[in-house]
Structure 1
Amino acid sequence: MRFTIDHEASEPPFEQLRRQVTDAVRSGTLAPGARMPTVRALADELGLAVNTVAKAYRALETDHVIETRGRAGSFVSAQGDAVAREAQRAAIAYADRVRHLGIDRATALDMVASALDAES
């Protein structure tokens, strides 16, 4: 996902970025669990001060659009009703764990399919 800033607009740059990220999450362009660029990298890419991007990220965290996981970075938060959010959190945790274990995507998806197909 590429973000753009109109330096001539009356809307402050941090608000332009906050709105673009929120819109991308709502439209599904940014999926739950998607990793966000680092504040420094995005500031460099957009030609903004680091504090401007950090302000946008703080606003997005306050709005529960993104979440920061310490040194792991910032990610798109789970959205929707309570059940959907919990399922998305579980999926995000699973994805993080299988990446850490070095399991490829196809194998990880096969494991989920097998788990879902298993009788309780």
Structure 2
Amino acid sequence: MELRIDATNPAPASEQVRTQLLAGVREGSLPPGAKLPTVRQLADQLGIAVNTVARAYRLLEEDGIVETFGRRGSFIANQGDAIQQQLQAAATQFARKAASLGVSAKDAQRVVVAAINGELG
């Protein structure tokens, strides 16, 4: 998978790296266990600061998408589909909140669909 930084994109370079890596995980071009380039290698390849790549990797680690093992490097996490796990956790949290507010399933679905359409188009 080849990553690129788009200078015309208003998103910070770290966010561009993060979203491209997430897309690779979703598409399957970065399967569980895939070794990622070192922070320094990817920074050199993209022409950006090392700290920028390190931030992207750190955010992906916090989300359970990437695992880093010191000198062995960074890898796509093996613990199943972390993206689906996070979506399920968020959906469950939303459903619990809606139930605690006494919202009907139909109204909760309407709110979710509106939010999804607003964020994802």
TM-score normalised over the length of structure 1: 0.65
- 1:70 deviates by 1.3
For residues 8-32 of structure 1, the C-alpha deviation after alignment (integer angstroms, 9 at most, x for no partner) is 2101110000000011001111011
SS at the partner of 2:67? Answer: strand
CA distance in 2 between counterparts of 1:13 and 1:65 reads: 18
Hey, what's the Cα distance between the residues in 2 that align with 1:13 and 1:7?
Answer: 8
Q: Distance in 1 between matches of 2:16 and 2:50?
A: 15
Match of 1:80 in 2: 81
Which residue of 1 is the match for residue 9 of structure 2? 9
Summarize the alignment of residues 81-100 of structure 1 with structure 2, pairs less than 5 Å apart: none
Q: Which structure 2 residues correspond to residues 46-85 of structure 1 after superposition, within 5 A?
A: 46-78=46-78, 79-80=80-81
- Give unpaired runs (5+ residues) of structure 2: 83-121
Aligned-partner residue type, residue 14 of structure 1: S
Q: How far apart, in 2, do the equivalents of 1:67 and 1:42 lie?
A: 16
User: Paired residues, what number?
Assistant: 81
Partner of 2:64, secondary structure, is coil
1:101 equivalent in structure 2: none
TM-score (normalizing by structure 2): 0.64
1:105-116 → structure 2 map (5 Å cutoff): none
Unaligned stretches of 5+ residues in structure 1 = 82-120
Query: C-alpha offsets along residues 46-103 of structure 1, whole Å, 9 cap, x if unaligned?
Result: 000000000000001001111001110000002238xxxxxxxxxxxxxxxxxxxxxx
2:71 maps to a residue whose letter is R
Q: Percent identity?
A: 53
